[in-house]
Structure 1
Amino acid sequence: MATTRPVPWVPPLLCLAVLLGGVYYALVDAGPSLRTAGFAACVLVVMGVDALDRRVPAPALLAVRTALYAAVNALDASGVARVLFVLIPFTAYFAFGRRAAVALGAGCVAAIVAAYTLWVPDWQVRAAYISDLVMFALGIVLAVTMAAVAVREREARVRLERTMREVRDLSAADERNRLAREIHDSLGHHLTAIGIQLEKAAAFAELDPAASRSAVSDARWSADRALTEVRRSVRALGPDRFRLTGALTDLIARLNDDRLAVTLEVVGDEGERPQAALTAVYRAAQEALTNACRHSGATRIKLSLSYEDSGASLVVTDDGRGFDMREGFGIRGMRERIGRLGGRFELASASTGTTVSVTVPW
């Protein structure tokens, strides 16, 4: 257990009380003396030793404290210095633990009993000494209890700080993953589309200038769309609402050409649905279309979007040659995004085509 005390003010405050009480009693009773000066000096030394708490090994510090407390009591004419012995189990609790503190507390009480027995005749029948012993034992109990409470409070604070750090680390990791998914699902899709359109433009530059110009126009549209999505992400709390049906319609219009036919079938009314759910469905559609265009060699892609009271569902099918079912970052990101909303993501791929099914609750 650490030797650093969470309540370092207790020993010096108690020493100060003993110093003032003992000096006052000595001055009132017999006036200034060398004994009183020695008493005050010993108390000040005790306070100085407490300041060395972190730099002295705990066993040695305990022995030094005990010897100093005994010296202070020998020079004290008032008897108030006995209270210093309650600091032995109090400080020992932080250095050695509960059992050692209880044992030392019991030893202090036994030492007081032994001292009374040796030097105070018939103390067992004298109310003043019995009262002093009871109060001293009560002080030992309170000191150990205070130390226990302080240790538990410190441990609770350490656990809370550790938990807060873990929460911050998890939040940071979640945010990094979220940003990675956003970049992949939005910018990644549009950059892929730009690459495809520019390849088309280069291939048709001489054979079909009109088709080449159209491909360049589509690439420019994808670039503008990517910039629009970046701006929308920046002002995520802004007044503009994301419309899923319109976004899918625009996306499909730019993909349709003489080599690829993409259709959209919509059932139900979009209405004022949660933006997170609509965005998740749109990202899933983007990823499915990107994979179909890049990997499957599909000539026909069909999107079936359905708005229901319980949520939205999207099914994307293509007639491509399928692909390896091992999940890359894009598919894993889709699955995680849908899963975070409590939805369901399903993927089936064969040589006759691929089907992606997404369901997101409201």
Structure 2
Amino acid sequence: MSSMRPLPWVSPVLYVTVLAAGLYAGTAGLGTTHAAPFTGGLAALFAIDLLERRRYPAGTPPWPAVASLCARVALFAVVAAADGSGLSRALFVLVPFTACFAFGRTVAVVLAAGCAGLVVAGYELGPGRWYTDAEQVSDLLMFCVGLVLAVATAAAAAQERRGRTRLEESHRRLAAYSAQVAELSAAAERNRVARDIHDDLGHHLTAVVVLLEKATAFRERDPGQAQRAIDDAHRSARRALDDVRHSVRTLRADPAPFRLSTALADLVDGQADDGRTAVTLEFTGDESGYGPPALTTLYRAAQEGITNARRHADADRVRVAVALGETEARLTVADDGAGFPPGREGFGLLGMRERAEQVGGRVELDSGPGAGTRLTVTVPRGGTP
């Protein structure tokens, strides 16, 4: 794990300040400055900073950070020993400052105490009793203040960077979650459109196919009957087109309230076109308290059940019964057709089960070869997706 990069301008500013003070002290005779180790040490510090930033742009790993910190401390000592102005001691405030970014605040505080101890030890090794010299005591206090400010500044900057990093990570996660939600929403919408196409267009096209088959069968024997079947097929195709236009308008504007009783009555009335399958409707109960998703689920199930009975089961009679109770609504579509063996369910039944599950309902199917088919869909009162 890499550490954070310290503020890039702090070290160069301090290096330039120390360089200017040391050269001025040497030229003005205010102290003895050894130019070669002094300027060479500062140049080496500049080089370490530059190489580290290029090698580790995001942050130096722990062990390289330890090595570079030790190299800096050694160079600080060299520069301080060669500086006649005495200002180079300020370089040591960079030790806890840099360590705070690389290793945390606790390590920085320990190193700051160590730097203060080294300065005190240097005074103790010097001549005289330094603690009686107001200038040396003032220098020590200012150095300690500099250490405290360095640690505080580094800790605040590191915390701000960590907060910014967490915020950026949260933004990345939010963007990823948004992309996932958009993808799931698109998939759900595709499934919904697929179910609607199957239920609406599939139903009408089935009627058209049945009527055209009837027209073909009666073309030679009864041309009038064949023509009536063609006319009925034309009307079914027009209804399919009207449904498509209605669906487009619904997507562009707020739809009118859905009434299950009206929709089922229209659906059953439209089955008289083929003249072959008799469809009856029994409707009891109150629709209030049932949400549009639940009522639409029942309507789509009736539509699919009638379509399957006419197209696949070759049924003569289909009975549609709806009972809206206090706690749940039940739809039953029963036919006297050929039936089918268990396990043979197509896309229509799959979509029906998906719709029912979305509103907390269930689908039951009872069928067998030659025994007709009984479809039962139950949804709870107030069912919503």
Q: TM-score with structure 2 length normalisation?
A: 0.72
Match for 1:182 among 196, 204, 210? Answer: 196
Do the aligned residues in 1 keep the contact of 2:280 with 2:320 (CA within 8 Å)?
A: yes
- Which runs of structure 2 are paired with 1:1-362 in the superposition (5 Å)? 1=1, 11-15=7-11, 18=14, 22=18, 35=38, 39=42, 42-43=45-46, 46=49, 49-54=52-57, 58=61, 59-60=63-64, 63-64=67-68, 67-68=71-72, 71=75, 74-75=78-79, 77-86=87-96, 88-92=98-102, 101=104, 105=108, 108-109=111-112, 112=115, 115-116=118-119, 119-121=122-124, 128=141, 131=145, 145-146=159-160, 148-236=162-250, 237-238=252-253, 241=256, 242-256=258-272, 257-268=274-285, 274-307=291-324, 312-326=329-343, 327-351=345-369, 352-360=371-379, 361-362=381-382
Q: Which moved more, 1:66-75 or 1:177-186?
A: 66-75
How far did 1:112 drift?
2.5
Distance 1:233 1:27 in 2: 85
Shift of 1:300: 0.8
Return 5+ residue gaps in structure 2 as ranges: 81-86, 132-136
Distance 1:130 1:45, change over 3 A: closer
Task: Tell me how far apart the structure 1 counterparts of residues 204 and 78 of structure 2 sit (CA, whole Å).
Answer: 88
On the 8 A contact 1:43/1:72 being kept in 2, the answer is no
Which SS does the other structure have where 2:320 is aligned? Answer: strand
Distance 2:41 2:155 in 1: 30
Distance 2:130 2:236 in 1: 98
How far the C-alpha of 1:24 sits from its partner, in A, is 7.5
Could you tell which deviates more after superposition, 282-291 or 181-190?
181-190
CA distance in 2: counterparts of 1:2 and 1:200, whole angstroms: 78
SS of the residue corresponding to residue 253 of structure 2 reads coil
Amino acid at match of 1:347: L
Instruction: Give the conservation status (yes or no) of the 8 Å contact 1:46–1:65.
Output: no
Aligned residues: 351
What is the CA distance between 1:260 and its match in structure 2? 1.4
Percent identity, aligned pairs only, is: 36
Instruction: Report the CA distance shift for 1:271/1:70 in structure 2 as closer, same or farther (over 3 A).
Output: same
CA pair 144-344 structure 1, distance change in 2 beyond 3 A: same
Q: Name 1:97's counterpart in structure 2.
A: none
Q: Deviations over 1:273-304 (max 9, x none)?
A: 74433332221111111221222232110111
Q: Give the distance between the partners of 1:324 and 1:29, measured in 2 at CA.
A: 104
For normalisation by structure 1, the TM-score amounts to: 0.75
| Contact residue 341 and residue 368 of structure 2 kept, 8 A | no
- The CA deviation at 1:189 is 2.3
Deviation of 1:334 (Å): 0.8
Q: Which amino acid aligns with 2:180?
A: E
DSSP-derived class of the 2:124 partner: coil
Q: What is residue 134 of structure 2 aligned with on the other side?
A: none
Q: Which amino acid aligns with 1:186?
A: D
Greater Rg over alpha carbons, structure: 2
CA displacement, residues 192-213 of structure 1 (integer Å, 9 cap, x when unaligned): 2222222222112112223322
Structure 1 vs Structure 2 CA RMSD: 4.2
CA distance in 1: counterparts of 2:289 and 2:240, whole angstroms: 24
Find the residue that maps to 1:121 and give its secondary structure: helix
Cα offset, 1:263, TM superposition: 0.7
Call closer, same or farther: CA 1:116–1:240 in 2, change over 3 Å: closer
Decide which moves more: 134-143 or 316-325: 134-143
Which sits farther off after the overlay, 222-231 or 40-49?
A: 40-49
Deviation at 1:240, TM superposition (A): 5.1
Give structure 1 stretches of 5+ with no counterpart.
Answer: 93-99
Q: Deviations over 1:28-86 (max 9, x none)?
A: 87789965797488448625742543499845576446535754675472544334334
> In the alignment, is the contact (CA less than 8 A) between 2:105 and 2:151 conserved in 1?
no
Instruction: Spell out, residue by residue over 1:116-173, the C-alpha distance to the aligned partner (whole angstroms, 9 max, x if none).
Output: 3653428997662655555555566556655654554454444333333332232222
Distance 2:27 2:325 in 1: 95
